[in-house]
Amino acid sequence: MGAGEKKPSDVARRLARRARAQADDDPRRKGAWRRETFTLPRTEARDKAREWFTRFPKAAYMTEIESWRELADDRIEFTMRRLPSAD
């Protein structure tokens, strides 16, 4: 091969390096999941979770409550996650 020619593996390695560098610069590009964290009173937290499941059905987006915890004064902090499959 000449100096200007590249093997497919060289091109793949270069593209993977570029994608990793972009992901490091942009936190939204880390992983395929879309996540959003909320801190709400208990009843509003329940409503917000229902809203997400209605807006992003589990069958299409794999929507789930990734984590949650109870805070003081009856507030709930929770993280919803979904795939951007139909965005």
Specify the pLDDT at position 4: 62
Q: What is the pTM of this model?
A: 0.62
Task: Identify which has the larger pLDDT, 81 or 5.
Answer: 81
Domain span including residue 24: 8-82
In a domain, 87, yes or no: no
34-41, strands of its sheet edge to edge? 34-41, 75-82, 64-71
**Domain total in the chain:** 1
* 16-75 pLDDT tens trace: 777 766 655 555 555 688 999 999 999 999 999 999 999 999 988 999 999 999 998 999
In a domain, 54, yes or no: yes
Specify the pLDDT at position 30: 55
